[in-house]
Amino acid sequence: MRRFVAWLLRDAAAATQQSTDTTGTAQTAEVARRLVRDPVCGVHIDETLSIPFRAEGELMHFCSTACRDKFAVSVQKMAANG
């Protein structure tokens, strides 16, 4: 888990770019990242890396296909039970 967090922080730092405007001052342009939470296992993951799934008109994000499939099966069971 520590390696994953370190990777995210290192990647975010690499995404920061230095640019110069017309007056010659340096500006930093950061790429905004949005973390989403997997509703099955609770892991937070970058939205661009997540596996999207639309259920009942709501867009859900999952960390893996296994979590997505578990969620889909549970939704089908709830719908079958009324």
Domains of the chain, start order:
1-31 (no CATH), 34-82 (2.30.170)
Polymer length in residues for the chain: 82
pLDDT exceeds cutoff 70 at 63: yes
Percent over 70 (pLDDT), the chain? 71
**pLDDT tens track for 27-56:** 444 567 899 999 999 999 999 999 999 988
Beta-sheet pairing, 26-29 with 17-20: antiparallel
Quote the DSSP letter at residue 23.
Answer: T
Of 23 and 35, the structure prediction assigns the larger pLDDT to 35
